[in-house]
Structure 1
Amino acid sequence: MCLLFFKFDPNPPPDGFRLILVSNRDEYLDRPTKPADWWPNNQNILSGVDLQQGKEGGTWLGITKSGRLATLLNILEPEVDPNAKGRGALISNFLKGNEECLPYLQEISKEGELYNAFNLLVFDLSRQNSQQAIGYYSNKTGLEPQLVTPGTHGFCNATISKPWKKCVVGQEKFGSVVNGATTGEKEKLMDALIEMMSDTTPYPDQSIHRQCAGTLSPKLQQERSAICVRSLDENYGSRTHTIILIDATDEVTYLEKTLEEPIPTDEKDLKWITNRYSFNLEMENPGL
């Protein structure tokens, strides 16, 4: 389970941002993960990497030097198919390829039933046509892949038409944080985004109850209704915060704050690792 907010402005002011994106990765605490870094076998791709046996090499969020970006959020279901195709490759295949957003998602939709439920977002930030820069597909809605318009958006572990309360509340908070953000206050912006994504306030939601159909206890439902999930006694929580900023000059700032493994079950013993990368997009089609 994860949470994602982003603002895309194809024509920002000189001191503004084309993209402001922030994400929480909610996952089991004993699932081995490689912190964000350039891939050893492909120095064009930057992401964290799943190291779980049988799922090695997958990721939940990544970006390339050429401006391709992809992220996937699972959709909560009462049961999952252990034999379903792995979803991590849906991101890595986009990052390694050069297909446009909508055609890529249309190909995936042809076999969408082979995967457990997901929300998938793909970005091609080198595109001159900003209306085709972002694509979205979910195999849970029955709808065809669609393009996402510029603006502010939020996604969670529910379908786009029925967002959880924490997503609605979080999007409002996100909008307040990023409104008028400038590169001169980049550090202040990132601090505010991390603080926002660290909110453990429960936002009770019957949608979570309906989606889990009794597989989560009332206690777990309440804990997972928070923007930042803390279910340490259940070996689960928001273990990684990621921020991606792209300014008007195509400079990328990628910041990941992730829990150091092995992750303890006592909150006072948690230790965070921060990884930060800066680079300029290698634009094939500069300017939007």
Structure 2
Amino acid sequence: MCLIAFDWQPGERLVLTANRDEFFQRPSAPLSVWEEQPQIIAGRDLQQGGTWLGLSRDYRVAALTNVRAPGIGPAQPRSRGHLVSQFLLQPHSPAAYARTLQQQAHEFAPFNLLLGDRQQLWYLSNYPHWRCEALPAGLYGLSNASLNTPWPKTRLAQQQLQQWLRQPADIRSLAGLLNRRQPFADHELPATGVPLEWERRLSAQFIQTPGYGTRCSTGLWLDSRGAGIAEISWDETGTAQAEHSLQL
């Protein structure tokens, strides 16, 4: 994912909305139960085999964003999508899985990772240094920088989710929540090492550029009653092409 907003209330609920941005030529499969690994409910990167956000049948969740840090990372990095899929496959608690990653974190390009179940939610990052912490209750935003970095689209995402929570609707509306398609003003843009024109394009919540943009949007909830996940797939014109949802 490239933009996530989530409300976390330990032992009560996790409500999350997210957008995944990627090159359109990179093959992906939509949200589904993985045929050979039915423990996992997620979309899938068909190039490397991992995923960006998913849910397991034992009520655990994981989500990933890349960190925008041009030129940083190993020469031959491991696929970050496996950080999510391996957690969903294994029976480890979020805390236990987080501990196993510390010695491997340098093998990946810069990432942010959320690992959770009904009782705990952990935030991990390997940039600019190793960070691993259990999150207290709160409403959070995460894009291609550190947790709660106040990029304009991230602040707006937190506001949108807060408003949605006041009058919760169906999970499809949660999936499609982060839909501002206009770039923000130049004076609000971060400086992440990419050219100014790309800073402008990437500042939108819903990105539309030739060959690259928002590929899917996801809504997820987890509480004592169960869990649900919904995904909207988008084409290069920003038109919804398919919708998938599953509940446990």
TM-score, normalised to structure 2, is: 0.90
1:61 to 2:53 alignment = yes
Q: Which residue of 2 aligns with 1:286?
A: none
Counterpart of 2:184 (choices 203, 206, 216) is 203
Q: 1:144 to 1:10 in 2, by over 3 A?
A: closer
Q: Which residue of 2 aligns with 1:92?
A: 85
Structure 2, gaps ≥5 residues long: none
Q: Aligned-residue CA RMSD in angstroms?
A: 2.2
Q: Secondary structure at the match of 1:272?
A: strand
- Give me the identity figure in percent: 27
User: In 1, distance between residues paired with 2:216 and 2:126?
Assistant: 25
Partner amino acid, structure 2, of 1:201: Q
1:21 to 2:16 alignment = yes
Q: 1:28 to 1:274 in 2, by over 3 A?
A: same
Q: Which residue of 2 aligns with 1:237?
A: 213
Quick check: 2:28–2:46 contact (8 Å CA) kept in 1? yes
| Structure 1 residue 103: Cα displacement | 2.5
User: In 2, distance between residues paired with 1:205 and 1:77?
Assistant: 20
| Structure 1 residue 247: Cα displacement | 4.5
Q: Secondary structure at the match of 2:5?
A: strand
Number of equivalenced pairs:
247
| Structure 1 residue 194: Cα displacement | 4.4
Partner amino acid, structure 1, of 2:5: F
Partner amino acid, structure 1, of 2:30: P
Q: Deviations over 1:141-167 (max 9, x none)?
A: 424411011221111100126342211
Quick check: 2:219–2:231 contact (8 Å CA) kept in 1? yes
Quick check: 1:102–1:145 contact (8 Å CA) kept in 2? no
Partner amino acid, structure 1, of 2:203: S
User: In 2, distance between residues paired with 1:207 and 1:42?
Assistant: 43
| Structure 1 residue 208: Cα displacement | 5.8
1:108 to 2:101 alignment = yes
| Structure 1 residue 51: Cα displacement | 0.8
Q: Secondary structure at the match of 1:43?
A: coil
User: In 1, distance between residues paired with 2:189 and 2:207?
Assistant: 13
Equivalent residues in 2 for 1:1-288, closer than 5 Å: 2-10=2-10, 12=12, 18-52=13-47, 55=48, 57-79=49-71, 81-125=74-118, 130=119, 133-160=120-147, 162-179=149-166, 181=168, 186-187=169-170, 190-191=172-173, 193-204=174-185, 210-211=191-192, 213=193, 215-216=194-195, 218-231=196-209, 233=210, 235-250=211-226, 252-259=227-234, 263-264=235-236, 267=237, 270-279=239-248
User: In 2, distance between residues paired with 1:204 and 1:83?
Assistant: 36
Please identify, of 172-181 and 149-158, the stretch whose mean Cα deviation from structure 2 is larger. 172-181
Quick check: 1:205–1:225 contact (8 Å CA) kept in 2? no
User: In 2, distance between residues paired with 1:67 and 1:208?
Assistant: 37
Larger Rg: 1
Q: 1:152 to 1:44 in 2, by over 3 A?
A: same
| Structure 1 residue 207: Cα displacement | 8.4
Quick check: 1:34–1:48 contact (8 Å CA) kept in 2? yes
Partner amino acid, structure 2, of 1:35: P
Q: 1:209 to 1:59 in 2, by over 3 A?
A: same
Quick check: 1:106–1:144 contact (8 Å CA) kept in 2? no
User: In 2, distance between residues paired with 1:28 and 1:208?
Assistant: 22
Quick check: 1:3–1:23 contact (8 Å CA) kept in 2? yes
| Structure 1 residue 248: Cα displacement | 4.5
Partner amino acid, structure 1, of 2:221: L
User: In 2, distance between residues paired with 1:209 and 1:122?
Assistant: 27
User: In 2, distance between residues paired with 1:7 and 1:91?
Assistant: 20
